[in-house]
Amino acid sequence: MTYEAKVTVPAWATAVMSALSKDETKTSTVSELDNGCLQYEFNQPVPIPSYLLALAVGKLESRDVSPRCRVWSEPSMVDAVAFEFSQVEDFLVAAESLTLPYQWTRYDLLCLPPSFPYGGMENPCLTFVTPTLLAGDKSLADVVAHGEFTGSIHQSGVMEEFSLLLDMVCRRGGAQLERQSGDERNMGEFLAQRRLDSLPGTKDHDKGPWGRQVLRFCGHIRLGGSEGEVSGRHGAS
């Protein structure tokens, strides 16, 4: 689905969504209402599954880390978040070199507050990340390689295929890190195998239905570009 949204919030609050600002030339498209509240407007022109529609409201500040990447968080954390994820543009460039141009125009991150320290979600345009990634040395920032493209561009048609989706995401995210770092080890192979080993009967890639499916759909990214073709065909629908 595509969507447009208008979100009304108290004057002290900021609203962010898994979408673009209605006026893409502005950080936020916002107007003041007669009652003193603020109304934010958003637009998501790229089709997404319904579970990737995300909204957050709070006392937020932002910092730009590249022309298409911005971080959001509570004011007390925003500079630390900007430092930790200053390499996000590099991750995007590495991902694009493996597959296709980024489809959602912006890749922003919202660092969740310490009161919600668990989990995250690769929402289009606005990935939610946990504050436990703020190590102070950028050592955990590469978790976004999972979310920039891989968690949004690949979707499972039915829930029975969700584990296959996660295997594909791990393989491609690992290959992206390999490309960016110049490490010749097949990190994608390692990450995919780690997930496959947790499934019954799939200790080897060539054994078991899940192992065969991952190799069938992913292949080895460095050898054929097949995943870029899959991404281009299926997009985020």
Instruction: Tell me: do 147 and 166 sit in the same domain.
Output: no
Q: Where does a domain end: 152, 177, 192? A: 152
Residue 226 confidence (pLDDT) above 50: no
Instruction: Tell me: do 117 and 196 sit in the same domain.
Output: no
Instruction: Tell me: do 148 and 41 sit in the same domain.
Output: yes
Q: Is residue 231 part of a domain?
A: no
The top-scoring range by mean pLDDT among 9-13, 105-109, 159-163, 230-234 is: 9-13
The count of structural domains within the chain is 2
Report the distance separating Cα 6 and Cα 173, nearest Å: 34
Instruction: Tell me: do 145 and 176 sit in the same domain.
Output: no
Indicate the pairing of strand 108-111 with strand 69-73.
Answer: parallel
Instruction: Tell me: do 33 and 107 sit in the same domain.
Output: yes
pLDDT at site 177: 55
pLDDT at site 172: 58
User: Is 128 in contact with 54 (CB distance < 8 Å)?
Assistant: yes
**Average pLDDT over every residue of 172-181:** 55
Domain containing 163: what range?
A: 155-225
Amino acid at 12: W
Q: Where does a domain end: 117, 152, 187? A: 152
Q: Is residue 232 part of a domain?
A: no
Instruction: Tell me: do 42 and 114 sit in the same domain.
Output: yes
Report the distance separating Cα 8 and Cα 152, nearest Å: 27
The pLDDT tens digits of the residues spanning 187-218 come to: 544 454 444 555 444 444 444 454 444 444 44
Q: Where does a domain end: 109, 128, 152? A: 152
Instruction: Tell me: do 39 and 126 sit in the same domain.
Output: yes
Residue with tokens 């959602």: 104
Instruction: Tell me: do 147 and 167 sit in the same domain.
Output: no
Instruction: Tell me: do 133 and 212 sit in the same domain.
Output: no
The count of other CB atoms within 10 Å of the CB of residue 179 is 19
As a whole-number percent, the residues of the chain with pLDDT over 90 amount to 41
Residue 121 confidence (pLDDT) above 90: no
pLDDT at site 146: 62
Q: Is residue 146 part of a domain?
A: yes
**CA torsion angle for 222, 224, 225, 229 (degrees, to 10)?**
-150
Instruction: Tell me: do 159 and 141 sit in the same domain.
Output: no
pLDDT at site 101: 83
pLDDT at site 165: 57
**Average pLDDT over every residue of 144-173:** 57
Worst-scoring range by mean pLDDT, 19-33, 44-58, 135-149? 135-149
Residue 174 confidence (pLDDT) above 90: no
Q: Binning pLDDT at 50, 70 and 90, where does residue 158 land?
A: low
Instruction: Tell me: do 131 and 164 sit in the same domain.
Output: no
Which CATH number goes with the domain that contains 69?
3.30.2010.30
What is the 8-class DSSP label of residue 121?
B
Report the distance separating Cα 149 and Cα 24, nearest Å: 21
Instruction: Tell me: do 86 and 8 sit in the same domain.
Output: yes
Q: Binning pLDDT at 50, 70 and 90, where does residue 49 land?
A: confident
Token digits of residue 190 = 């390692």
